[in-house]
Amino acid sequence: MSISRGCTIWFTGLSGAGKSTITEHLVPMLHARGCKVEVLDGDVVRTNLSKGLGFSREDRDINIRRIGFVCNLLSRNGVVAIAAAISPYKSVRDENRALIIDFIEVYVKVSLETCIQRDVKGLYKKAIAGEIKEFTGVSDPYEPPENPEVICETEKETPPESAEKIINKMEELGYLARA
């Protein structure tokens, strides 16, 4: 069964929380249900759409607004747009929620300690050593969402279980027909 309308699934969480990993499980599940899906991964967007932006609060806000703009275009045209970006600041996430009518916020909740353990890129190590300035969760704040539609706790559930939670919420909200 296909969706009746597009929507944006907005992942937020620390670097290493599991946003991209859950997305990798979610996309084939949505394709199997007949959905058109586009993923806007934070790292990929920075390389292509937001090249030249740094990591100041202003640059991060610009990046997140750009992702929101593209998600809005996609979702209003029947696509499930998935934004997988840290999106550390509540105010800009709220701007995107106001812009995008069909918006599902997914908080990928995990402890900083677990993110440090999962850190395959070595970014936390560099940030803690002071080699990376303005690193979310270390030297720059992360503001968790207050009322996300879905909370995925990646220390307690597997990526497929997290993806299934999102599918269930999409069914509950009427974006997917019940399987």
- Cβ distance 25 to 117 under 8 Å? no
Enter the tokens of residue 35: 């959905």
Say how far apart CA 41 and CA 38 lie, in whole Å.
10
Say how far apart CA 41 and CA 116 lie, in whole Å.
20
Told to judge if 87 belongs to the known catalytic residues of this protein, a careful annotator would answer yes
Enter the tokens of residue 84: 């997988």
Q: Among 87, 91, 111, 162, which one carries the catalytic annotation?
A: 87
Q: Could you give the residue numbers annotated as active site?
A: 87
